[in-house]
Structure 1
Amino acid sequence: MLFQLKSYLNFLLKSQNQHGLHSPFVYDLVTKCFYDKSEHKTYKLIKDYRNDLLGNKDRITVTDFGAGSRIFRSNERPVFSIAKNAGITLHRAKLLYRLTNYLKIDKALELGTSLGIASSAIAVNKSTDLITIEGCPETANIAKQQFEKYQLNNITLRVNEFEAELNRLIREHHKFDLIYFDGNHQKQATLDYFEKLLPTAHNDSVFIFDDIHWSAGMEEAWEEIKRHPKVKVTIDTFQWGFVFFRQEQVKQHFCIRL
């Protein structure tokens, strides 16, 4: 926790809002999407989906393939507690929906379904087809039930370890407009997934990395990703790191307060 506090204070020193942004693309993204205060009708489904999970007292056994949890000491966990402590916040879920809508995302990929709160935020836009991958069968089963209950038929849930599914996606020659990385908050795994999925990106794709300041290793991974020659624009919002590949742009890095 002390590490994250120091990281956040450093972030505040470097960060800015929309004022002084000299990239028209980033300025429009921040003002029209990040800072959009409109009450979108689709927020209701996202909120109901999340509240449904917050009221679920069932206990499941979680299989964790990633960096582990700082909250839970046991792998047997109540669903409501996972939704509260490990799930995406409502604020972030709304932003994820706005981003999907603003960038007109057709094809999306999510690494780490968990209970599917972020999945619902992406797929509530019915014109978006989402493939989401979850390694834990019991967690995925809860998400599957939720997808069916809320008629999110544009979600394809694949239950498997990431490596096998990513190899399959490469073989199937997928191209994605958006990839949300939220499954393994370790440096090497993050870099491996980034490199493996680069061929699935195109000029207008966006990669979103969760918890880029979770640990020293994740910060190192983020810095390596920023330096990659194919990466042109990055936005650090502290919780999330956004990566764009727009080759027509000068390489620039931004820290934006949300």
Structure 2
Amino acid sequence: MLHLAANYLLYRLRAFKLHGVHSPFVFELYQNVILHEGDYYAYSLIEDLRSSLLTEDRAIPVTDFGAGPKAGLKNNRKISYIARTSAKPAKYAQLLFRLVAHFQPATIFDLGTSLGITTSYLAKANKQAKVYTFEGCPSIAAEAKSNFEKLGLPNVQQVIGNLDDTLPQQLQLVEQLDFVFFDGNHRYEPTMRYFEACLGKHHEHSVFVVDDLYWSAEMKRAWQEIKRHPQVCQTVDLFYIGLVFFRKTQPKEHFTLLY
């Protein structure tokens, strides 16, 4: 997509490396977490599962709830196609793993389960955390449940149904949100609505991660509005994902970092 390529070029022109980061908090996060190149045992377990899903020819009925012309339609799709088009690439899923391992959140919301690859990274990173993962399509949720069982992830709780209904209901049942991954919709209005809803349960050390910042003009607009939000204190733009922090003891700053 041309707009994505153009936005990536602009990102590369703006992005800093370490020498351009003057915030001690962001510098340490960038050096020790974002750029960390070490391996973890969970990586190979989850990537082995991904490899098997990428070769699975079985088709399941899928209902779309997100953006695009297929929203609301049902059709059959192969597991391999879903794994190829919906799962977060290893580079970014493993970054989410490191973020959870670093910040040790107790309550995690994953807004968009799909087959559960990204959810599994979140859950493996802190086995004491309660991970609530939201999926609209029951047949995809059933596949994800099987994958969680294969990986031994009892700390994952699935929330199935339209996110417009299930998110407000689940928010009422938790005391606070420590970590949220927004990957449930790629339109401006729902993204901002979900973000505002989750803000009601955030605290100073919460970490919000927004997926696919430049996937569309609507997502780019949402990301710019999130950065301007009065409760947002720091953001880190890594192009494909954005990190949002609420640390009032530090100056309001926005970083675009090379990743």
TM-score (norm 1): 0.95
Is contact 1:46–1:124 with CA below 8 Å preserved after alignment?
no
**Alignment of structure 1 residues 77-156 onto 2, 5 Å:** 77-125=77-125, 126-156=127-157
Distance 1:203 1:9 in 2: 33
Render the CA deviation track for 1:22-76: whole Å, top value 9, x for unaligned: 1011001110001111111221222122122112211112111111389xx9832
Decide whether the 8 Å contact of 2:59 with 2:77 is kept in 1: yes
- Structure 1 position 92, deviation (Å): 1.3
Shift of 1:20: 1.9
- Listed one character per residue, the Cα deviations across residues 225-245 of structure 1 (whole Å, up to 9, x for unaligned) are 100110000011110011101
Q: Secondary structure at the match of 2:184?
A: coil
CA pair 173-102 structure 1, distance change in 2 beyond 3 A: closer
Shift of 1:200: 1.3
Contact 1:46 1:93 in 2 (8 A): no
How far apart are the structure 2 equivalents of 1:169 and 1:54? 31
| Alignment correspondent of 2:233 | 232
Contact 1:235 1:256 in 2 (8 A): yes
Amino acid at match of 1:122: L
RMSD: 1.6
The answer on 1:20 being equivalent to 2:28 is no
Contact 2:63 2:74 in 1 (8 A): no
Stretch moving more, 31-40 or 53-62? 53-62
Helix, strand or coil: the match of 1:37?
A: coil
Query: What is the CA distance between 1:171 and its match in structure 2?
Result: 2.1
Deviation digits for residues 169-200 of structure 1, max 9, x if unmatched?
Answer: 23224311110000100001100101111011
Residue 223 (structure 1) aligned with residue 224 (structure 2): yes
Whole-Å separation in 2 of the counterparts to 1:59 and 1:21: 47
2:35 matched to which residue of 1? 35
Number of residue-to-residue matches in the alignment: 256
Do 1:204 and 1:246's aligned partners in 2 also have CA atoms closer than 8 Å? yes
8 Å contact kept, 1:131–1:158: yes
- Equivalent residue of 1:200, what SS? coil
- Contact 2:177–2:198 under 8 Å retained in 1: no
Give, in whole Å, the separation in 1 of the partners of 2:183 and 2:69: 13
**Alignment partner, residue 76 of structure 1:** 76
Q: CA deviation at 1:256?
A: 1.0
User: Structure 1 residue 138: deviation in Å?
Assistant: 1.0
Deviations 1:75-129 (A, max 9, x none): 3211111111221111111111111101112210011100101000000131221
1:205 equivalent in alignment to 2:206: yes
**SS of aligned partner of 2:5:** helix
Partner of 2:50 in structure 1?
50
The residue that corresponds to 1:252 in the other structure is: 253
In 2, the alpha carbon distance for the partners of 1:158 and 1:138 equals 13
Unaligned runs of 5+ in 2: none
> Gapped runs of 5+ residues in structure 1?
none
* Kept in 2: contact 1:124–1:152 (CA 8 A): yes
Partner of 2:177: 176
Q: TM-score when scaled to structure 2?
A: 0.95
Q: 1:69 to 1:86 in 2, by over 3 A?
A: farther
**Residues in 2 aligned to 1:22 and 1:115: alpha-carbon distance in whole angstroms:** 39
How far, CA to CA, are the matches of 1:238 and 1:6 in structure 2? 12
